[in-house]
Chains A and B, each alone.
Chain A
Amino acid sequence: MSDATATVRTERHPDLPPPATTVGVLGWLRTNLFSSWLNTALTLLGLYLLWLIVPPLLDWAVFSATITGEDRTACEPNPGACWVFIKVQFWQFIYGFYPPDQTWRVNLTFLLFVAGVAPVLIERIPGKKWALFYLLFAFPVIAYVLFVGGVFGLPLVETALWGGLSLTLVVSIIGIVASLPLGILLALGRRSKMPILRMLSVVFIEAWRGVPLISVLFMASVMLPLFLPEGVNFDKLLRALIGVALFSAAYMAEVVRGGLQAVPRGQYEAAAALGLSYWKTMGLIVLPQALKIVIPGIVNTFIGLFKDTTLVAIIGLFDLLGRVHTATTNAAWLGMSTEGYVFAGAVFWVFCFGMSRYSIRLERKLGAGQRRR
């Protein structure tokens, strides 16, 4: 056995820079891509797959694609994508059969929406309270009048004519806006001390979660009218909206419940000890914490809802995907389905990716300065 020794320093050791191989581009490559034989092999395999996929894809989508012209004959000389199809059909993909001379109403509604949402979502823009008030109370009325019309000299536009991306946005935004508060109430109900309220919430949530959205929509459009008295007939779109909102509320309720469970009991107790009532405890203490915890889950539900709106095609409403699908069956454009679906997919992706990025930013902002113990 050797002697136990220790070097005893008589002066402070200076701080040294880290070894060169762990920093910089080379260091990064080394630690992330070539740290072992297996890693190196996987990196090379990945590069090979990219080489197989990316060049032909770019060739199809960009280099050999056609963007000029008015009909399919323009595309015949080129082997790549025929974006002329999208260009010609573009306004229908956006507005459906909304009368072309009235589409300014859709645009104006959209602008008014952005004007309200921007201050709420972006920190630098002031006036959050007013914007929220406007969005919750004034905007729905304005939007309804503009979209539907029939008053103030605006011609009536039947919901059957609505379609394309604007319909997708109408369904998903209303679904999102309705499902969050409903979901919160259901989640609170499910954790309530009152057995009847608890049971009603559980039954509601489990019933809606247990059926596919398609059957909800079918029931809304086919079965509901059977139960309604003769002559009472409410709009197909409205029925679909209610179906979508209640369906996502059930999902939202479970997401929110997860957040509620993550708030420690001490928070409820401290609030109670200060004399805060149930609703003040929930609104000021518990929900702000619970919702922050489940932002990823909430946004996940929003994204799911946004994409699920495509199912309204089942009951004869033509959202973006429905419009694209119909256009590809048009005799003048047969064989263009790849372009159509790539376009629809890209539009959906942009919206979903946007929501996802925003949620990450929001989490970071809300998390700042609030390290948990």
Chain B
Amino acid sequence: MAQAQVVKAPSDDVVIQIVGMHKWYGQFHVLKDINLSVYRGERIVVCGPSGSGKSTMIRCVNRLEEHQRGQIIVEGTELTGDVRQIDAIRREVGMVFQQFNLFPHLTVMQNLTLAPMWVRKMPRAEAEATAMRYLERVRIPEQAHKFPGQLSGGQQQRVAIARSLCMNPKIMLFDEPTSALDPEMIKEVLDVMVELAESGMTMICVTHEMAFARRVAHRVIFMDGGEIIEQNDPENFFTHPKSDRTKLFLSQILGH
């Protein structure tokens, strides 16, 4: 069910191109013929019912999951089994998880400097300066020397965002970054994400925060049953959903 490109992109420089991609977990056909191009500076929000394959799709982009058919091309490099290419792509693609996944045995500062120092071979002083800059951007510089377990959920997720940014990625993937947070902490994380969006970062964001989608997304993609069912700009997506499944989904998440 290929649809024509309905949304104008912020540039015509394609940074992620997914073509005819399929994935199976054993016998289970989890992703079916995914076609998606992401342009530089574009911000995409992915939504859909639980189990529809949203996480699996974005995890294929940095090869946390392996696809079995079709092509995924990130920054001009196709994802194949080649470990060096995978590492190269992972350096350019940051990811933020629902469960934060901070390293609990390291301080916040060590969490932030580890990858720049060990992967990018950055000197410690420079890595720490960069880390401090990003901690200030996510508004928790005073927590630098605490352990993750001593922070609130919202603070942990902001550290996780800063940790990804320290690698200076060209693309950021978010997998339901606010779903594990208490309501009063969601805003502080979304604020950081809005700011990041305003800086021009290319983002793919799985979230059900519809206000966030309206505010920052160029494009909203709706998935169900392992397929991309619908895509549109946020305004039309929410006000004129085309498919019945989208209408049902929207009525469920907005209707109370």
Contact = CB atoms under 8 A, between A and B. Distances in A.
Interface residues of B, number: 27
B54 to A, nearest CB: 16
Contact of B99 (A266, A274, A289, A371): A266
Contacts, number: 72
A366 B114 CA distance: 19
A365 to B, nearest CB: 12
Nearest to B59: A269
Interface stretch (A67-75, A194-202, A276-284): A276-284
B118 interface: yes
Given A275-B119, A369-B147, A371-B150, A267 B101 contact: yes
A273 B64 contact: yes
**Chain A contact surface mostly:** helix
B178 interface: no
Interface size, A (range): 20 to 34
B204 to A, nearest CB: 13
Interface in B139-153: 146-147, 149-150
Interface in A272-306: 272-277, 280, 284-285, 288-289, 292
Nearest to A366: B105
B103 interface: yes
A275 B104 contact: no
Contacts of B167: 274-275
A124 interface: no
A19 B94 CA distance: 57
B231 to A, nearest CB: 25
A285 B105 CA distance: 8
A270 interface: yes
B97 A269 contact: yes
A276 B149 contact: no
Given A267-B101, A284-B114, A289-B104, A369 B87 contact: no
A275 B89 CA distance: 8
Interface in A172-212: none
A233 interface: no
B90 A272 contact: yes
B223 interface: no
B91 A369 contact: no
B198 to A, nearest CB: 24
B102 interface: yes
A2 interface: no
Nearest to A269: B64
Interface string B113-129: 01100110000000000
A370 interface: yes
A73 to B, nearest CB: 62
A129 interface: no
A269 B115 contact: no
A13 interface: no
Top 10 A-B pairs ranked by shortest CB distance?
A270-B101, A371-B149, A274-B115, A266-B101, A273-B95, A275-B90, A275-B91, A275-B119, A369-B147, A370-B147
12 contacts: A264-B99, A269-B101, A273-B62, A273-B95, A276-B114, A276-B118, A280-B118, A284-B114, A284-B118, A372-B149, A373-B104, A373-B149
